[in-house]
Amino acid sequence: MSSCFAAFLSKPSVTGVADRGAGRGRLYDNITETVGNTPCVKISDAMCPPGRTIYAKCEYFNPMSSVKDRLACAIIEDAERKGQLKPGDTVIEATSGNTGIAVAMLCAQRGYKCVITMAEPFSIERRKLMRFLGAKVIITPKAGKGSGMVAKARELAQKHGWFLCRQFENEANAAFHYATTGKEILADFEGRRLDYYVLGYGTGGTFAGAGKAIREKRPDVKICLGEPADAGLLASGVKSERNSDGSATGSHPAFKAHPIQGWTPDFIPLIAEKGVESTKYDEYIPIPGASAIEMSQKLAKTQGIFTGISGGASMYAAIEMAKKAPEGSVLVAMLADTGERYLSTPLFESIQADMNAEELQISKSTPSFQLA
């Protein structure tokens, strides 16, 4: 099987638009080889606090438009190396959407069957994208929250003998981020100032893996971790109770519903817990849901950067961190996915399909081709 790691080739340092038209200097055997090597893009003064510099690592440049493409590569390739998957097998996972889309992509390319369990509140477009990629999507009741969809996936895997990804406990997840995401950041900032690495957590794989890689090579870089203000699980200091396989036994007492889909399920994932214990974080920022939405909208309207609510949350944390960081500080924030995953969510509530009054006025400013 071809590996996602094939995408990692050394390239000369370039700036501006000098590399336009150059191509990638290689061809790809399949879509999974294109995962990774996402760009770090500077945020303009329209959003960045004066005297500081913020970069966004734009994970929506991955083929399925999210950071979870890395996770899917990690788990499926690891299972193949260990002989846990063979042609025609079924892969199952519980997901808020992005992981399921990524796993469905890997399964489509590899020839595996794919079943996804997903809690009822997550966006409709995510269900459709997974089904478009050939997956079967099993919806679990809203009352069960994230832990309910995880329990359903485990139950189905045991009943049918399917391969369960276990993204929240599978160590291949963090290991892949250590080998790719973290090293990409280190390579892009080699010889350059970098003071803060800013992100939230879903499984904790990016935090534990990329954070570890950055800690090892650049111990001066501070890790800033964000959580939804309404779901401060790590902030509570209370650990999730666990089953013998490391999965959470149920919902965390500090959890409340929040709009930052993909971040902070209703339990502390084992990978996140291990990351806190080993990699640790230096700064903590609670993020109001409304602020995450507002920041995502602002990124679109002032930067042309189209990211989802979690990307807005990361940028909110980066800006708040920048405000209190020493002058000259440089920060990089993870933007996990694309805004297109949120068309049916509060992120797009204020965006209408029909023309508003201002648009109608523009239309009527010339006589032809006006709607009746």
List the 196-199 sheet strands across, edge first: 40-42, 53-58, 330-335, 196-199, 222-228, 283-287
Contact 44, 302 (CB under 8 A): yes
Spatial distance between the Cα atoms of 110 and 145, rounded to a whole number of angstroms: 31
CA distance 340 to 123: 10
User: Taking a C-beta distance cutoff of 8 angstroms, is the pair 163, 92 a contact?
Assistant: yes
If you search the block for the tokens 């391969």, which residue do you land on?
Answer: 163
Residue type, 241: E
Amino acid letter, 204:
G
Phi/psi of residue 189, each to 5°?
A: -105, 15
Q: Tell me which of 68, 145, 212, 222 is the catalytic residue.
A: 68
Spatial distance between the Cα atoms of 113 and 176, rounded to a whole number of angstroms: 23
Per-position b or e across 29-48, b if 16+ CB within 10 A of its CB: eebbbbbbbbeebebeeebb
CA-to-CA distance for 164 and 156, rounded, in angstroms? 9
Identify whether 310 is a catalytic site residue.
Answer: yes
Phi, psi of 116 (to 5 degrees): -125, 135
Catalytic residue chosen out of the listed positions 240, 291, 296, 310: 310
Q: What is d(CA 114, CA 143) in angstroms, rounded to the nearest whole number?
A: 25
Contact 332, 189 (CB under 8 A): yes
Name the token pair of 288: 């109001």
> Which of 205, 330, 367 lies closest to 274 in space, CA to CA?
205
Active site residues: 68, 310
